[in-house]
Copies of this chain bind each other. A is one copy, B any other.
Amino acid sequence: MTTQYFEDYVIGAERKTHGRTITETDFVVHAGHSGDFFPHHMDEEFARTTPFGRRIAHGTMIFTIGVGLTASVINPVAFTYGYDRMRFVKPVFIGDTIHTRLTIVEKTEDPKRPNAGRVVERGQVVNQNGETVLAFDHILMVERRTPAAG
């Protein structure tokens, strides 16, 4: 665990995760986990008749794996409040390799909570061609080292 207080977050700070190849197995596991067996994800014959010409990944999977890739460092004084502006920019296909880029884009004090602040981390899930496939804003509530002045 690496404690990082609200004051320690720096606008513009970036980190980039390892990559992970999205396999047919991930498609099948995600269908079974979510219960979503829509033919866009699971029926190669049907998928050939769509504009993409092949199966496309579930959006919830790219979000799950894209966020999961970032789960390497625990900050015990932060927790996830939510996500904003999640956009599925491009489809992900079997065999694509994705990684996630995180950038701190916003810090705001919370008038109602002198002991914590809001940090926005912009996430971009990027494929092997450098194209962003998913973007999102991750909203964290982070404890302050010293309470904000009232």
Contacts and interface: CB of A to CB of B under 8 A. Distances in A.
Interface of A: 18-21, 23-39, 42-46, 55, 59-61, 63-65, 67-69, 71-72, 74, 80-88, 95, 97, 128
22 contacts: A18-B37, A18-B39, A18-B46, A19-B39, A19-B42, A20-B39, A20-B43, A21-B43, A23-B24, A23-B25, A30-B33, A30-B64, A31-B32, A33-B64, A33-B65, A33-B68, A34-B67, A34-B68, A34-B71, A36-B71, A81-B88, A82-B85
Given A60-B63, A63-B60, A97-B43, A68 B35 contact: yes
Contacts of A67: 34, 36, 60
Contacts of A20: 35, 37, 39, 42-43
A83 B67 CA distance: 15
A123 B29 CA distance: 24
A72 B72 contact: yes
Contacts of A43: 18-21, 97
Contacts of A21: 42-45, 55
A127 to B, nearest CB: 10
B35 A31 contact: yes
Contacts of A68: 33-36, 60
Nearest to A18: B39
